[in-house]
Amino acid sequence: MIRIANGQGFWGDWLEAPVRLIEQGPIDYLILDYLAEVTMSILQKQKAADPKLGYARDFPPLMARIAKLQKERNVKVIANAGGVNPVACAEEVRRVAPALKVAIVLGDDVFGRIDDFLGDGLAMRNMDTGAPLITIRDRILSANAYIGAFPLAEALATGADVVIAGRCTDTALALAPMIHRYGWKPDDWNLLAAGTIAGHIVECGAQCTGGNCQVDWQSIPDLANVGYPIIEAEPDGVFSITKHPGTGGRVTVDTIKEQLLYELGDPKNYITPDCTADFTTIHLVDAGPDRVRVTGIQGGPRTESLKLSISYSYGWKAIGTLVYTAPQALEKARAADQIVRRRLLQLGLAFDEIYTEFFGVNACHGPVAVPVDDPPEIQLRIGVRGQEKKPIDRFTRELIPLVLNGPPTATGFGEGRPPVREVVAFWPALIPRDRIQTTVEVVE
């Protein structure tokens, strides 16, 4: 049995989690997921400004913090912290933690190959809209292929203490050590599906150990010290999910079911670079305190395509807010919204969208929200989005004047006018698998 712990569900997750995982009990592998779809574009910009950047900058300090214990306990770290610059990430880890042997996985970054692909007749159509990539060619900010677990397993085989990848799938981080240790083959579909589903369960960190859990949430113990998830994986594809004894949170069939359903599409056809996994074959059993055993998982062949994660510059947006109080808080906020819209119209400003929410009434649940009668306070929240920056900037000056020249009792303007933010959009597309070749390098 091997123990694979996930200490980071996204870049910005709890900094203490990975440290506690390594300090508070036995683990063999520590996996860390840093990349969201839009993160790649931010990293690509950082790299353009400074060729030494473009990776998850929280990662090297973490390695410095845990290096000693990691060596003592022979824990291997697998992280997609490399972003668009795994080489620079590895060099920084080596600089701050020289005792660690580092391997990197390269080949996912296709930012420089897009024109070659287009020239070869690959349309890379948007999987949601069907539009060909050529329509946004000059606005592309980053382009990466999602790679699977086998290149990561190859990197583990070098004996590295730390494996750094770029855009691998979240589930590959968990599956890779199983492939490495148990010698699973590229067509062991049921085993690969089991490891993939184990990865799906832990990929959001504490969201399977009591975080964001709706079942009897008030009784979930000590979320302040919540334990992050650990997979206990066996060679035959059976695994358990647990957490270190004495940590907060809860692992039950209910907490695992909730996470299994998270961001799920067609449950019979969960596609990764490694296999397709069938979520309707999962069998869960409570196997003791904070322990769930998972059996029965079946899978099928991998697809002939890999998914590309492309980001491009879409335009600009800004969201402004004001607070109105009772009596008639909602009526005041509605009136203010109408005034803003009329003023924008009179200025002749065009937007792709103007969207208003009344926070405290219906912002999150819209027409499904519980009706409220004259709430004590409401936040008016108006957002605009468009291709040109100038109208968005002008909009940001239209809210604060309402404090003096609109409906009564407006406040909450202390932050000043809202920032104008660049909108980087995501373009999902497919590419034939044989166009992506990965390599592994050891950084000495």
Distance CA 226, CA 442 (A): 35
Closest contact distance (angstroms) between CB of 96 and other proteins is 32
What tokens does 217 get?
């949430």
- The site for other proteins (CB under 8 A) is made up of 37-38, 128, 212, 214-215, 254, 257-268, 279-284, 314, 317, 319, 353, 355, 357, 359, 363-370, 381, 383-385, 423-426, 428
Q: Minimum distance between the CB of residue 287 and other proteins, rounded to whole angstroms?
A: 16
Decide: 148 and 272 in contact? Cβ < 8 Å.
yes
112 vs 367, beta carbon nearer other proteins: 367
Q: How far apart are CA 201 and CA 199, in angstroms?
A: 5
Minimum CB distance to other proteins, residue 297 (Å): 10
Beta-strand (E) ranges in 179-254? 230-233, 239-242
Of all helices (H) and strands (E), which one includes residue 237?
A: none
Distance, in Å, from the CA atom of 139 to the CA atom of 311, rounded to the nearest integer, reads 9
CB-count exposure of residue 204 (10 Å: 0-12, 13-18, 19+) = buried
CB of 315 to other proteins, least distance (A): 9
Question: Whole-number minimum distance, CB 261 to other proteins, in Å?
Answer: 3
Closer to other proteins by Cβ: residue 14 or 359: 359
By beta-carbon proximity to other proteins, the closer residue of 39 and 438 is: 39
Smallest gap from Cβ 274 to other proteins, in A, equals: 19
Q: Decide: 199 and 174 in contact? Cβ < 8 Å.
A: yes
| Tokens linked to 281 | 């074959």
CB closer to other proteins out of 61 and 428: 428
Measured from the CB of residue 421, what is the shortest distance to other proteins in angstroms?
9
Name the residue nearer to other proteins (CB basis): 130 or 367. Answer: 367
| CB closer to other proteins out of 23 and 388 | 388
Q: Shortest distance, CB of residue 46 to other proteins, whole angstroms?
A: 17
The HSE-up count of residue 330 (CA atoms within 13 Å, CB side) is 12
Residue found under tokens 């062949």: 301
Q: Which of 395, 325, 6 is nearest to 174 (CA)?
A: 6
In the complex, minimum distance from the CB of residue 20 to other proteins, in angstroms, rounded to a whole number: 25
| β-bridge pairing 377-386 and 76-79 | unpaired
Compare residues 285 and 345 and give the one whose CB is closer to other proteins.
285
| Residue (24 or 379) nearer to other proteins, CB | 379
- As a whole number of angstroms, the distance between CA 419 and CA 263 comes to 30
Q: Which amino acid is at 384?
A: V
Rounded CA separation 315/344 (Å): 19
- Report the nearest approach of other proteins to the CB of residue 212 (Å): 7
Per DSSP (E only), the strands in 135-248 are 140-145, 162-164, 230-233, 239-242
Closest to 108 (Cα-Cα) out of 159, 142, 58, 156: 142
CB of 392 to other proteins, least distance (A): 11
Ramachandran area for residue 375 (φ above 0: left; ψ -120 to 50: alpha; else beta): beta
Nearer Cβ to other proteins (83/151): 83
- Name the 3-class secondary structure at 171: helix
- At position 87, the amino acid (one-letter code) is V
Read off the tokens for 232. Answer: 């206990």
- Given the complex with other proteins, which of 113 and 257 has the nearer CB atom? 257
**Structure-token pair, residue 101:** 């042997």
**68: Cβ–Cβ under 8 A, 6 or more apart, which residues?**
99
- Which is closer to other proteins, CB of 212 or CB of 411? 212
